[in-house]
Amino acid sequence: MKITKIDLLFSNPVEDGWRPLFCRVYTDTGIYGDGEVALSYGDTLNAAFGIMKDLAPMLIGMDPLDHEVIWQKMYRHCFFALNGGPITFGGMSAFDMALWDIKGKAFNVPLYKLLGGKQRNSLRAYASQLQNDWGENRKPARTPEDYARVARIAVEKGFDAIKINFLTFHPKNGRYHETEQTAFLSPSYMETVEARIAAVRQEVGKNVDIILENHCYTDKLSATQYGNMAKKYGILYYEEPTTPHPDLLSYVHKETGIPVASGERIYSRWQYRQYFEENSIQIIQPDIGNCGGITEVKKICDMAYLYETGVQIHVCGSPLVTAASLHLEAAIPNFVIHEYNVNTSMPKMTSLTKYNYEPVNGQFSIPELPGIGNEIAEETFKNSEVVTIQ
């Protein structure tokens, strides 16, 4: 089997300027595989599409079943890939995902079989980024009542865990400025966010887990101050309280006693190593779409298992990367919970692929179709800038 052609897709904007980036890898047997770069937001679009155009010619003529050989070729031939990084590893991720898709289709088995089989038949999920509200006509949550309402919707949908950034939106309009979130939070800011957390806890009761999301906007001082206030409300874990650095995250964990999660901005097993050795992260969150693909993320998860560190794959892309993430989470022993991101559950996003996997009562089932179990919709090809490499 040989790779004969690759289509690269730069989709139209689908949500607040998000433009998912895909690839389709074709073979001489008629089997093709699809992949995605999970860098469709955050001012990385052109760079991510550019790296795919740079890497794609390396794959032409190679055997798609040799995913380790191809991974090493991309890694070693791209000068700036060594040690990992979002752009280079993002491009590698898309192609690696497509290769695993091809492999599953070639052997007529779902991806989880190739990864060693299912450790579980369903995956607990949490509703993520609820500060942005639900639905197409959503508005940012600002008042405690807003936060209670979005949490109530999650519980009504069957979720028993939710994740919210309580720090983002100003009570009146706009966002809090980044300078307001460092060093220490002001008394009025602390009063505002505590009222939000208290309202959510009162609304959902004691049997729903709450995850704090900071998006790295806080530093170690403000994150510790905030975490120590919030922990009395029963926090499952604390995501990205600081810039990803082992010393900073260790400080927050030790000072608050709350398990720390991070990983969407940590891009390789080399980068993760120090975090594991210093127990800086208790829940890792690698993203299959920017962390070197299924090949690299599986190795990172295996490393985490050695240190008894839990795994929650970061999911912030189309249903294509969601499907791949479900397979990997089903196959690893140290899975904790799956991220159901309301930002990526909008109709324009879910229409990008042939299938859309949704949780039922807060639980995901694992795709059973060969390969990833999803593919780019034909309409997406029509509504994208397509570059063909052959």
Summarised one tens digit per residue, pLDDT across range 81-109 is: 999 999 999 999 999 999 999 999 999 99
Residues 274, 318: one domain? Answer: yes
The SS3 call for residue 111 is: helix
- 217 with 167: CB under 8 angstroms? yes
Residues 280, 303: one domain? Answer: yes
In-domain check, residue 370: no
Residues 101, 44: one domain? Answer: yes
**What does the pLDDT read at residue 382?**
96
**What does the pLDDT read at residue 314?**
98
Q: Measured at the alpha carbon of residue 301, what is the angle toward residues 298 and 305, in degrees to the nearest 5? A: 140
**What does the pLDDT read at residue 137?**
87
In-domain check, residue 38: yes
In-domain check, residue 269: yes
**What does the pLDDT read at residue 83?**
94
Q: Tokens for 210? A: 């709450």
In-domain check, residue 371: no
In-domain check, residue 272: yes
**What does the pLDDT read at residue 228?**
98
In the chain, the amino acid numbered 169 is F
* CATH for 266: 3.20.20.120
**What does the pLDDT read at residue 309?**
98
In-domain check, residue 44: yes
Residues 78, 212: one domain? Answer: no
Residues 134, 88: one domain? Answer: no
Q: Would you say how long the chain is, in residues? A: 390
- For the chain, which residues score pLDDT lower than 50? none
Q: Note down the domain range covering 218.
A: 113-365
Residues 263, 145: one domain? Answer: yes
**What does the pLDDT read at residue 249?**
98
Record the pTM: 0.97
* CATH for 101: 3.30.390.10
**What does the pLDDT read at residue 17?**
79
**What does the pLDDT read at residue 136?**
85
Residues 212, 254: one domain? Answer: yes
Residues 91, 196: one domain? Answer: no
Q: Tokens for 72? A: 């090493």
Tally the domains of the chain: 2
In-domain check, residue 129: yes
Neighbours of 374 (CB within 10 A): 25
**What does the pLDDT read at residue 157?**
97
Q: Tokens for 386? A: 């397509």
**What does the pLDDT read at residue 202?**
98
**What does the pLDDT read at residue 16?**
76
In-domain check, residue 283: yes
Dihedral angle sign, alpha carbons of residues 296, 344, 380, 115: positive
Residues 118, 200: one domain? Answer: yes
Residues 125, 254: one domain? Answer: yes
Dihedral angle sign, alpha carbons of residues 55, 301, 160, 144: negative
Residues 156, 247: one domain? Answer: yes
Residues 104, 233: one domain? Answer: no
